[in-house]
Amino acid sequence: MCGICGIVERDRPIDEATLEAMCATMVHRGPDEGGVRLDASGPFRIGLGHRRLSIIDLSTGTQPIGNEDGTVWTIVNGEIYNYQELARELEAKGHRFRTRSDSEVLVHLWEEHGPDLLSHLVGMFAFALWDSKNARLLLARDRLGKKPLFYRADGDSLAFASRLETLLVADGGSREIDPVALDRYLVLQYVPSPRTILAGVSKIPPAHYLLYDRGKVTVERYWWPRPAADAPRTIEEACERLRALLTESVRLRMISDVPLGAFLSGGIDSSVLVGIMAGLSSQPVRTFSIGFDVPEWDERHYARLVAERHKTEHHELVVSPDARAIFPDLVRHYAEPFADSSAIPTWYVSKLAREHVTVALSGDGGDELFAGYDRYKGVALGGLLGAILPPPVARALEQVAGAFHRDGTRRTPAYRAAKFFRGLAEPPLSRYIEWISYFPRRERRGLYRPEWAEILPPNPPHDYFREALAPHADRRLLASILLLDTLTYLPEALLTKVDVASMAHSLEVRTPFLDHRVVEAALAMPTSWKLRGWKEKYVLKRAFADLLPPVVRTRAKMGFAVPLGAWFRGELSGLVGDLLLSRNARVREFFRPAALERLVREHRTGARSHEYKLWSILFLEMWCQVFLRNPAMRPSAVRRPERATP
């Protein structure tokens, strides 16, 4: 795992000091060594920078790494898991390798296949590849978006980096907030690609590549998540195939020249992975769990059961509400607003794991592939009720359920009922967006100052989700929602959270469920094998029943979250007032002070539960303080577009 960066210019020199400064912002992503390469041999000049966390080929894997004659160079963040097989095939065609590094296969694959090299890769990666003969730069992200890549293109210049903060070092460009990105952040708690919070800066989306060809920039998708062609005919066949594919995926991700372990929450996904790892390893697997003093949020008991069953070397840490202490670190490392509160336990479990290992396996992806969230049950039930209930009845039920939601917690039946009936009269996709929205559209409109509300599109998240699903319009409702979360929430929220939190502690995290062959096999299974009645992940539990303690196999899903509501009314109550109720709060440039005060008051008194809204605004406030330090960069200085486009 590493950090990469670079600059391309036409007829202008690259400043090596700037490249070194960019690399310096990514030392935590690659603490072991760094390297830069400048190429000024033609009209197009390029500088490549790399910071390395050594995992494979510790002695000779230094980057940038080139081909035999030095005309093709690459820098890579991530791992190519099938590199040994690819190297053998390339050597048979006459290519010569100087290292045992997985990264070196890329320069030789480029010589053979050009951009189509991406179809040959199994891995998690974001890389840059420079072909000096043809003045072509290829930037690419893996199929599921496990590794990030930001860029800014301006005429003949292009800069890219693994981190947004690194990119800002490169060009010193304006820091104007993108209003649409801000609005999507409030709704989703993250800024989805290709946008970033800053206008003019983009993310390469998952499964896409950018080709810079003599000054011309094109961005193309190279992979769509399609169901495997040989779909299983029976659930028994599906279980057998899933077991074989996931076991092989884990085996590939256990290849490492440094110590390796696993995150263990006590849920189904991480428990399955630990069981597979134990069967493949001759030594006890090292496992890591996080817990809380609030019992209803603490999963350590289940993690211990799994650890005992598979005789792991188990480590635990109890997280106390000291978000004030780590808040500045979270903001600095995420470098754009990101309000998934599970970043807090992910931060701590990564810190704990890094004290013992350099690589950890994670169960991310299992919920989206095999219907693990409670909301998928709501999708199935909502599809039935939405077809038979008249809209006035659905709205009346929403009002009745909402009237009972006054206890200030998101986990009560009253809250779940109110959320379920919200939007039941809407079309299925709009209803689902309402369910997963942290700020519903009517609340959002009342939050903004008039000058911001005027420039926002009416429903930007709807357009974002519809675009993601457009090539899959023929799928049934639940299958569409599972795919939607796989294409959006999984890479943009969950994988971003894990990448940033783990790399902040120089820890590489690998996700066996997100081998694209496992994903394609899961897509080929009917949803009735995943959600059977109220039993979620049915096929996954059945395939690995022997690895799961019975109480773990039948337990309700808890989720990797934190008790923000209790914290904000207790130990962290002062944090809210200090940051949001101050006259100097930066978010008052966007939001009405009276609306902010109402949110704080209602949450403190227990009248309503606003912990996730408050966390979103708190993170945004801290981000503004850190990254908009200059008066010229204040939100009020944003150049207002005539109309923001979705």
Q: What is the pLDDT of residue 510?
A: 97
**Residues 6 or more apart in contact with residue 442 via CB below 8 angstroms:** none
549-602, pLDDT tens digit by residue? 999 998 877 666 677 777 787 777 788 888 899 999 999 999 999 999 999 888
What is the DSSP-derived secondary structure letter of residue 42?
A: S
Q: What is the pLDDT of residue 137?
A: 97
Cβ neighbours around 65 below 10 Å, total: 22
Q: What is the pLDDT of residue 559?
A: 66
State yes or no: pLDDT of 25 exceeds 80: yes
Q: What is the pLDDT of residue 561?
A: 66
State yes or no: pLDDT of 645 exceeds 60: no
Q: What is the pLDDT of residue 488?
A: 95
* Prior bond of 64 cis (ω within 30°): yes
Class of domain 2-221: alpha beta
Q: Of 42-46, 454-458, 460-464, 633-637, where does mean pLDDT reach its minimum?
A: 633-637
State yes or no: pLDDT of 631 exceeds 80: no
Averaged pLDDT for residues 394-398: 76
Strand 216-221, strand 208-213: pairing:
antiparallel
Q: Which of these is catalytic: 2, 23, 239, 624?
A: 2
For residue 208, the number of C-alpha atoms closer than 13 Å in the C-beta half-sphere is 18
State yes or no: pLDDT of 632 exceeds 70: no
For residue 79 the two structure tokens come to 């791992």
Work out the percent of the chain whose per-residue pLDDT is above 90: 62
Averaged pLDDT for residues 223-232: 92
**C-alpha distances in angstroms, 350 versus 25, 156, 295?**
20, 40, 22
Spatial separation of the C-alpha atoms in residues 512 and 83, rounded to whole Å: 16
Euclidean distance between the first and the last CA atom of the chain, given in angstroms as a whole number: 33
What is the DSSP-derived secondary structure letter of residue 284?
A: P
Averaged pLDDT for residues 504-525: 96
State yes or no: pLDDT of 628 exceeds 90: no
* Residue boundaries of the structural domains of the chain: 2-221, 235-371+486-554, 374-471, 564-637
Q: CB of 104 within 8 A of CB of 60?
A: no
- Give the residue, 39 or 609, on which the prediction is more confident: 39
What is the DSSP-derived secondary structure letter of residue 491?
A: I
Could you tell me the pLDDT band of residue 642, with boundaries at 50, 70 and 90?
Answer: very low
Q: What is the pLDDT of residue 407?
A: 42
341-364, pLDDT tens digit by residue? 889 889 999 999 999 999 999 999
Q: What is the pLDDT of residue 405?
A: 53
Q: CB of 118 within 8 A of CB of 109?
A: no
300-332, pLDDT tens digit by residue? 999 999 999 999 999 998 877 566 678 889 999
Spatial separation of the C-alpha atoms in residues 385 and 365, rounded to whole Å: 29
458-486, pLDDT tens digit by residue? 766 788 888 888 777 667 889 999 999 99
5 tagged catalytic: no
- Give the residue, 400 or 620, on which the prediction is more confident: 620
450-463, pLDDT tens digit by residue? 988 888 777 667 88
Spatial separation of the C-alpha atoms in residues 401 and 420, rounded to whole Å: 9
531-555, pLDDT tens digit by residue? 998 899 999 999 999 999 999 998 8
**C-alpha distances in angstroms, 504 versus 233, 329, 347, 513?**
44, 9, 8, 23
For residue 465 the two structure tokens come to 């989700």
Class of domain 235-371+486-554: alpha beta
Query: Which pTM does this prediction carry?
Result: 0.92
**C-alpha distances in angstroms, 545 versus 122, 152, 278, 365?**
28, 48, 15, 19
For residue 97 the two structure tokens come to 């390798």
Spatial separation of the C-alpha atoms in residues 463 and 37, rounded to whole Å: 41
State yes or no: pLDDT of 29 exceeds 50: yes
Averaged pLDDT for residues 200-215: 95
Task: Give Cα 637 to chain centroid, integer Å.
Answer: 30
Spatial separation of the C-alpha atoms in residues 7 and 151, rounded to whole Å: 10
State yes or no: pLDDT of 646 exceeds 70: no
Write down the mean pLDDT value for the chain: 88
Q: CB of 151 within 8 A of CB of 158?
A: yes
Q: What is the pLDDT of residue 507?
A: 96
Strand 157-161, strand 150-154: pairing:
antiparallel
Q: What is the pLDDT of residue 534?
A: 86
60-99, pLDDT tens digit by residue? 778 999 999 999 999 999 999 999 999 999 999 999 999 8
